Structure 1
């Protein structure tokens, strides 16, 4: 089992399975791990970033339908490729952008930061508590036997993914279903999280320079919010 205490060493264990690469050869993940984070409720820093992201999204939404944005359209195609229906289970960035017109959710300072970057840069971006990870992060196509910990009716529940579904997983089970649709309860960020991993998902319409810019924006936001944070990152192509 990979040790998560050494951020750079852990990042080296993150993989994209060849079956996912076959599905979308243009896929890349920028994985950013950080420790020394300051968790807590939403604050002035996260509010400024969310407000700016809402304004950015509203500006392009005024003349471009959500589903016609090139990167979001590519993600809809990716979801369809493994059998998901993007009208029912939307890629995470699309779901957030659709909420930008009426106001993004305010969750907690760490979640707010990555949601703001996701909307401003129009890419799926998830954050998880690294202390609750078990081994390396792996993007695979599910067999249908993997465990996904979630809630139903406010109570803990366990689901199993559809065979062929693209999922992030670790040694204990699935950490995020349908590529970037829903995160599990076990590794979700909380107001006590001090070590986290953030996964920025990119397909062809979002080039490497734009992906790097999104990563820089997230890193800057984390350091502004948590000046003593120590980040590390790795671009994973699955080659």
Structure 2
């Protein structure tokens, strides 16, 4: 399986950085109490921080809002997933644990202030490309409705679109039956390459400690726009 960045997307956003982690032989289950506690405490601390600093002024959130505008989308109408999570926390509408895959995915998104998506490879077919959506790009999302991804980044396989930093599709959702997964980190373009690699190494290690199995990391940039898993 090859994962690549669309060339025209890189022409428009040459500084784009996408992190990829490929997990194999994992076991997804109810999150350990340590993860549940850590996620809850992290949200409570974030809530306190946001009493003095609005969501849109947080560096990672603001950078992705700006990127949204660069691509032609309205960040107020179509909030990226990290901002949506952060807004929930700011209202004390804390995330409730679902299972270890989703819980850690949400934790990473809050911690790094970036959109992060995780997908069940059993429901993916062929190679994957990250591109820019148009009026015809869309899918049934985890939010329970059809989502059009015009001017929004999205991921597609041979069967069509399945993920984006806005909302992910139902088709490729991770469950407790998942044994192989693909993690996509929509990194802050301003993040130095060495720091991006450290972030992915840290996230991969933490996910691996909870889920077992093996993992492989790749960083997609203008210089290295594709990787083979």
Partner of 1:57: 46
Select which of 109, 132, 142 maps to 1:141: 132
**Does 1:112 find its partner at 2:103?**
yes
Select which of 150, 162, 172 maps to 1:187: 172
Q: Deviations over 1:188-225 (max 9, x none)?
A: 11121111010111133333344334323322222221
Partner of 2:227: none
SS of the aligned residue for 1:140 comes to strand
**Does 1:231 find its partner at 2:215?**
yes
Distance in 2 separating the partners of 1:34 and 1:189: 12
CA contact (8 A) 1:37 1:222 kept: no
Distance in 2 separating the partners of 1:214 and 1:45: 21
CA contact (8 A) 2:114 2:186 kept: yes
Go from structure 1 to structure 2 and tell me whether the alpha carbon gap of 1:91 and 1:33 turns closer, same or farther (over 3 Å shift): same
Partner of 1:78: 67
**Does 1:170 find its partner at 2:154?**
no
Coordinate RMSD, CA, aligned: 2.4
Go from structure 1 to structure 2 and tell me whether the alpha carbon gap of 1:204 and 1:34 turns closer, same or farther (over 3 Å shift): same
> Any unmatched runs of 5+ in structure 1?
1-9
SS of the aligned residue for 1:14 comes to strand
SS of the aligned residue for 1:116 comes to helix
**Does 1:121 find its partner at 2:105?**
no
Q: What TM-score does the superposition give when structure 2 sets the normalisation length?
A: 0.85
SS of the aligned residue for 2:101 comes to helix
Go from structure 1 to structure 2 and tell me whether the alpha carbon gap of 1:151 and 1:202 turns closer, same or farther (over 3 Å shift): closer
> Any unmatched runs of 5+ in structure 2?
224-229
Go from structure 1 to structure 2 and tell me whether the alpha carbon gap of 1:237 and 1:192 turns closer, same or farther (over 3 Å shift): same
CA contact (8 A) 2:60 2:112 kept: no
CA contact (8 A) 2:142 2:167 kept: no
Count how many residue pairs are aligned between Structure 1 and Structure 2.
221
SS of the aligned residue for 1:183 comes to coil
Distance in 1 separating the partners of 2:211 and 2:67: 35
Distance in 2 separating the partners of 1:218 and 1:64: 26
Go from structure 1 to structure 2 and tell me whether the alpha carbon gap of 1:210 and 1:98 turns closer, same or farther (over 3 Å shift): farther
Go from structure 1 to structure 2 and tell me whether the alpha carbon gap of 1:159 and 1:200 turns closer, same or farther (over 3 Å shift): closer
**Does 1:215 find its partner at 2:200?**
yes
CA contact (8 A) 1:138 1:169 kept: yes
